[in-house]
Amino acid sequence: MEDCSIDEDFFKNKSWNEIKKQIPDPYWHEPYDTKKQYWEATISKIKLKERYKDITRIPNLTVTYGKIDRVKNFQSNYVDSRNIDVWLPPNYNDSERYAVLYMHDGQMLFDSTRTWNNQEWKVDETIARLIFDGKIRNTIVVGVWNNGAYRHSEYFPQKPINYLDRELKDNLIKTDLKGKQQADNYLKFLVEELKPYIDKNYSTHTNMQNTFIAGSSMGGLISMYAISEYPDVYGGAACISTHWVGDVNVKGDKVPLAFNQYLINNLPEPKNHKFYFDYGTVGLDSLYKPYQTKIDKTMNKKGYTIKNWITKEFKGDDHSEASWSRRLYIPLEFLLANNNN
């Protein structure tokens, strides 16, 4: 309620008995006995942020290399607001231009002490080392926090759903997506709102050749979708442990086949784009190989070669940040190879 004001006329020339009947919030709980008590309490609640500043303050992330700029509750006309963590490499300065890597599930990237499972991608350690060794170009990372309960709703590619039969489509939207298809709006948020903000506030290369997108599991799906829907914006996508099954509760291969058909119809021109796919062999990742094999055939038929497409299997790796962090350097070296721009 910060920046609110009091309607003083509400308190003037009225008795407490009249005011008591009009208290707008019955859940404030304090037993007000006089008009003066209610006035003071209302003033106090308008300064709510000041009263609870020690509780509402978000702890800073701890990174080993570089620094994090947090944009709290980035507002959007397309999706719910969320935090954005912008990682800047050591010695970042405005006299140089930087490639930009957008990563989904941004709250899982940098600091295991702030994540739900005490794991992280080790993004700052990996990218800082690769930059220092000259293996990748200067790069900043934009960590886009997911939307919690509506993560699937935002990350499940929207257009492939249209390849499903009506009953399966309706059931998928109702259950897995909780009644909302938000992937197209999520991409509009990234492209029309977030990217302009990043390019305005940081020293970036704004072209497609220096703009990349990456994620794991559902984040792999939405990365594939992003580069296919916006080939003029993204030059490469890292789709790690890509969740081709879409919804594990849907039996059969109808959903993976829908993704494959979408790619057949929408893959961007291979000459100017790069794709990286991978999967492990343990746990949820053990489901992916047969579907990735079909995707690989499609990539090959569409003209992708080892110059612009890699698929890798990692035996013994499971579906976790611990596994993804160990192999993160591979897609980064492939997508962000230091070509002196």
The pLDDT score that the predictor gives to residue 58 is: 46
- CA-closest candidate to residue 138, choices 99, 95, 110: 99
CA angle 62–196–130, rounded 5-degree value: 45
Percent of the chain scoring above 90 in pLDDT: 73
Structural domains in the chain plus CATH codes: 8-56 (no CATH), 67-335 (3.40.50.1820)
Contact 230/187 with Cβ under 8 angstroms? yes
pLDDT value of position 111: 78
Amino acid at 212: F
Instruction: Starting at the earlier edge strand, list the strands of the sheet with 82-88.
Output: 67-74, 82-88, 139-144, 99-103, 211-216, 236-240, 274-280, 309-314
State whether the Cα torsion 185-161-332-123 is positive or negative.
positive
Rg over alpha carbons for the chain, rounded to the nearest Å, is 24
CA angle 329, 332, 335 (to 5 degrees): 150
The ranges of the chain with pLDDT < 70 are: 1-60, 340-341
Q: What is the pLDDT of residues 241-269, one digit of tens each?
A: 999 999 877 878 999 999 999 999 999 99
pLDDT digits (tens, 9 = 90+) for 110-142: 877 787 788 878 899 999 999 999 999 999 999
Burial code (b: 16+ CB inside 10 Å, e: under 16) for 294-313 equals bbeebbeeeebeeebbbbee
- How does pLDDT run across 151-185, given as a tens digit for each residue? 999 999 999 999 999 999 999 999 999 999 999 99
What pLDDT was estimated at residue 35?
60
User: For the chain, how many helices (H) and strands (E)?
Assistant: 14, 8
pLDDT score at 114: 80
Token pair 């190989």 is found at 289
Q: How many residues are there in the chain?
A: 341
The pLDDT assigned to 56 comes to: 36
